């Protein structure tokens, strides 16, 4: 028996020895390519991961017969390699791994967004245009050929659309929009929206005053562009309809107050991302000024957002329009067949018109809307406080949890160890989770709307939930467009569209032209990708170091360099918003069409000339007047004068 056990033990030891022999010489390092597709002549980054996560040191790797030294830290290492063939043979410790990296011309990367934009504007059909754009991108990525068509079609749905719907931020926007749609349906059914129309009639006595109220509300809800668009668009639509203001004009007012205000206000859901991008870009540049201070100084050059707000007010006050917008306004005022078709968009919402026989009370709409606004702010403060608390703890400061305790210690997160009230508020809002805040507030607003309806016996519980479901269904077309827009953004990211566009504009530029070129670049990238946030995320880390280095090469001192950097920081933001306003594949442009029940392509066609004109004036101020040393306040006065002259001489009043 003892001999049997010894024999078993010997067999086990032998097997272990054999298995070790078979593993001997095999690499315990895995390799992967960060990108499977690169531009011709560019480098691919090969990343290496050691099975021992604590491994640090150097390893020699062989790539297509050439030796490279890879430094490992924390078990990870990387090396950049410019391939001359698509097949890479990577050998580590005698073990060879084959990787494939396709190379294409950079011009291919801009084809998908161009296809989507072309078909959307020419044929006035957004969904097919977006599908074609996404499919063309997946086909380019797959390899262009009949054999790759099936693979491209599959990845359209199982990769890009699925990824768009699996992103928590995207899902949050869809749910928030859906709940807001349900709330609007309930407050329409219980007569609250009709009550707002009646109440605002006291202030909105004409088409002009109704537009001023819309413009004012757009500025008032400054803290988040999504909340701004959906709340103002849905609230003011019945009011502007009463005064025969076109849906296109309403969509323009909603879209062009949302992002410009959110982009430049001190306390918004944008500020955290903006400061994060700026802070990461100025690392290791010798710039001692903090990100928040740079942002505040950049506002002197925030021409496009401020000019956009002023231009809208000029159009409203003079009661003039021009181009496609004038035609839309003329059609709306004169009740032609075209406006009847546009108003036919509301046929989907006929079942949520006010219930017969009930009183229309304005507060049944205002209370839920105010609940959304108030709880969004509370949610931003709450989530921002929690995040700020964690950051303070990471700095080694021991404090008790709680909003006021965290607030008292926010100096530790300041640039110089001290913060003003506005800076503290900016830190908290910047660290907030806007998606959580919007979800909480919208659900609370919907519940309040239902409770008001049921408690006053305006609607039964069943009628309230039926109205909610009808509101959900009314949002479905917009969700399809949003999802496809996100899928297209995923494709352009995979094809490195933004990087290619950046490479075209960023070489051999004098410092004085950097701001103007950056403005155009940001607008082109944002227009092509449909994302102002994505554009900022891409350009800030690339452009700010580039500007700093160019300025240093030209012998500029730090004060002169910082003035150019302030301008560049501002124009990245401004150009991103401009491109977003002009792009039919932008999510915020789509949301504006959805909230105002405006035909999406008509919204783009009427808004684009206005945005382009304001953008041209902003570019002129940025390139010419700033470079010749005109003071910032005179730049704004001159810009306002130019815009007023354009409105006065190009615009004409609508006659009814």
pLDDT 10s digits, 617-629: 999 998 888 888 8
CA 367 to centroid of chain Cα atoms: 29
Q: 653: helix, coil or strand? A: strand
Please give the structure tokens belonging to residue 497.
């569209």
Interatomic CA distance for residues 446 and 402, integer angstroms: 28
Q: Are 588 and 539 in contact (CB under 8 A)?
A: no
Task: With a cut of 70, say whether residue 585 has pLDDT above it.
Answer: yes
Using CA atoms, how far apart are residues 367 and 386, in angstroms rounded to an integer?
28
Contact call for residues 178 and 446 (beta carbons, < 8 A): no
Q: Rounded to 10 degrees, what is the CA torsion of 348, 351, 353, 357?
A: 170
> Which residues make Cβ contacts (< 8 Å) with residue 577, sequence separation at least 6?
259, 260, 263, 304, 305, 308, 526, 532
Tokens linked to 528: 């092509």
User: Is the separation of the CB atoms in 611 and 605 below 8 Å?
Assistant: no
Locate 162 and state its tokens: 């699925």
pLDDT reported for residue 122: 73
Residue 56 contacts residue 72 (beta carbons within 8 Å): yes
Distance CA 464, CA 449 (A): 9
Contact (CB, 8 A) for 34 and 44? yes
**Each residue of 172-216: pLDDT tens digit?**
878 877 887 788 788 888 888 777 766 766 777 888 988 998 898
Whole-prediction pTM value?
A: 0.64
The DSSP H or E segment spanning 59 is strand 57-63
Computed over every residue of the chain, the mean pLDDT equals 79
356-360, 549-553, 562-566, range with greatest mean pLDDT: 562-566
Written in H, E and C, the secondary structure of 299-329 is HHHCHHHHHHHHHHHHHHHHCEECCHHHHHH
Q: pLDDT tens-digit profile of 339-364?
A: 444 444 444 445 556 777 788 788 88
Q: What is the pLDDT of residues 407-451, one digit of tens each?
A: 888 877 776 666 778 778 778 877 788 778 878 888 999 999 999
- Nearest alpha carbon to residue 621 among 647, 639, 637, 644: 639
Confidence category of residue 15, pLDDT binned at 50, 70, 90 = very low
Dihedrals φ, ψ of 34, to 5°? Answer: -65, -30
Structure tokens that stand for 399 in this block: 């404090």
What pLDDT score was predicted for residue 642?
96
At 23, is the pLDDT very low, low, confident or very high (cuts 50, 70, 90)? Answer: very low
Place of tokens 């077309």: 477
Mean pLDDT for 127-150 is 80
State the Cα–Cα distance between residues 249 and 208, nearest whole angstrom: 12
- Domains in the chain (CATH in brackets) are 29-104 (2.60.40.10), 107-168 (no CATH)
Considering only residues 242 and 604, tell me which one the structure prediction assigns the higher pLDDT: 604
Cα distance between residue 39 and residue 369, in whole Å = 49
Cα separation, 595 vs 580, in Å, equals 17
Euclidean distance between CA atoms 12 and 75, whole angstroms? 32
Residue 380: pLDDT band (50, 70, 90) is confident
Examine the pLDDT at 548 and tell me if it is beyond 70: yes
Query: How far is it, in rounded angstroms, from Cα 169 to Cα 226?
Result: 12
Q: Which residues pair with 89 in a beta bridge?
A: 98
Q: What are phi and psi of 58, to 5 degrees?
A: -115, 145
Helix (H) or strand (E) holding 379: helix 363-394
639-655 tens-digit pLDDT: 999 999 999 999 998 87
- How far apart CA 623 and CA 43 sit, in angstroms, is 34
Reply yes or no on whether the pLDDT at 30 is more than 60.
Answer: yes
**Cβ–Cβ under 8 Å, residues 320 and 647:** yes
Q: Residues with Cβ < 8 Å from 626, sequence gap 6 or more?
A: 301, 515, 567, 635
Could you tell me which residues come within 8 angstroms of residue 371 by beta carbon, excluding any fewer than 6 positions away? 441, 444, 445, 448
């Amino acid at each position: 028996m003892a001999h049997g056990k010894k024999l078993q033990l010997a067999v086990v030891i032998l097997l272990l020895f054999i298995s070790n022999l078979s593993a001997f010489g095999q690499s315990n390092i895995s390799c992967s390519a960060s990108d499977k597709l690169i531009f011709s002549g560019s480098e691919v980054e090969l990343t290496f991961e050691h099975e021992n996560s604590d491994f640090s040191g150097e390893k020699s790797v062989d790539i297509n017969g050439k030796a490279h030294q890879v430094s490992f830290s924390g078990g990870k290492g990387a090396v950049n390699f410019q391939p001359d063939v698509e097949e890479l043979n990577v050998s580590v410790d005698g073990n060879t791994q084959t990787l494939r990296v396709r190379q294409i011309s950079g011009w291919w990367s801009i084809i998908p967004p161009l296809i989507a934009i072309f078909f959307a504007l020419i044929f006035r059909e957004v969904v097919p245009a977006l599908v074609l754009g996404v499919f063309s991108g997946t086909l380019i990525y797959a390899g262009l050929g009949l054999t790759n068509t099936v693979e491209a079609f599959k990845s359209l749905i199982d990769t890009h659309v699925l990824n768009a719907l699996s992103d928590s931020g995207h899902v949050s926007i869809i749910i928030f929009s859906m709940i807001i749609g349900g709330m609007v349906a309930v407050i329409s059914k219980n007569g609250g929206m009709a009550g707002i129309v009646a109440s605002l009639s006291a202030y909105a006595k004409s088409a002009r005053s109704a537009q001023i109220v819309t413009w004012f509300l757009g500025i008032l809800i400054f803290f988040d562009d999504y909340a701004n668009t959906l709340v103002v668009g849905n609230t003011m639509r019945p009011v502007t309809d009463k005064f025969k203001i076109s849906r296109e004009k309403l969509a323009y007012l909603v879209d062009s107050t949302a992002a410009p205000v959110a982009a430049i206000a001190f306390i918004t859901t944008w500020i955290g991302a903006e400061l994060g991008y700026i802070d990461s870009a100025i690392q290791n540049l010798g710039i001692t000024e903090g990100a928040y201070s740079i942002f505040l100084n950049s506002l002197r050059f925030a021409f496009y957002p401020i000019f956009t707000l002023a231009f809208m007010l000029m159009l409203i006050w003079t009661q003039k329009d021009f181009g496609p917008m004038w035609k839309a306004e003329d059609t709306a005022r004169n009740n032609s067949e075209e406006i009847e078709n546009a108003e036919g968009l509301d046929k989907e919402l006929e079942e949520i018109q006010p219930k017969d026989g009930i009183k229309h009370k304005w507060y049944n709409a205002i209370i839920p809307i105010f609940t959304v606004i108030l709880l969004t702010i509370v949610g931003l403060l709450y989530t921002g406080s929690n995040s700020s608390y964690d950051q303070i703890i990471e700095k080694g400061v021991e404090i008790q949890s709680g909003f006021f305790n965290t607030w008292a210690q926010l100096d530790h997160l300041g640039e110089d160890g001290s913060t003003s009230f506005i800076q503290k508020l900016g830190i908290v809002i910047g660290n907030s989770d806007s998606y959580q805040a919007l979800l909480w507030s919208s659900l609370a607003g919907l519940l309040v709307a239902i409770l008001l309806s049921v408690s006053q016996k305006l609607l039964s519980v069943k009628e309230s939930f039926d109205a909610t479901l009808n509101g959900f269904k009314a949002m479905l077309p917009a969700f399809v467009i949003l999802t496809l827009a996100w899928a297209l953004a995923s494709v352009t990211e995979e094809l490195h569209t933004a990087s290619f566009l950046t490479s075209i504009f960023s070489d051999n530029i004098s410092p004085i032209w950097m701001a103007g070129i950056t403005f155009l670049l940001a607008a082109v990238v944002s227009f092509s990708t449909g994302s102002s946030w994505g554009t900022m995320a891409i350009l800030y880390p690339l452009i700010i170091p580039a500007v700093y280095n160019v300025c240093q090469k030209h012998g500029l001192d730090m004060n002169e360099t910082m003035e150019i950097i302030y301008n560049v920081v501002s124009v990245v933001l401004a150009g991103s918003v401009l491109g977003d306003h002009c792009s039919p594949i932008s999510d915020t442009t789509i949301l504006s069409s959805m909230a105002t029940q405006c035909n999406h392509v008509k919204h783009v066609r009427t808004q684009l000339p206005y945005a382009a004109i304001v953008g041209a004036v902003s570019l002129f101020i940025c390139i010419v007047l700033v470079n010749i040393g005109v003071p910032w306040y005179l730049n704004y006065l001159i810009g306002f004068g130019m815009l007023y002259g354009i409105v006065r001489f190009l615009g004409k009043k609508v006659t009814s």
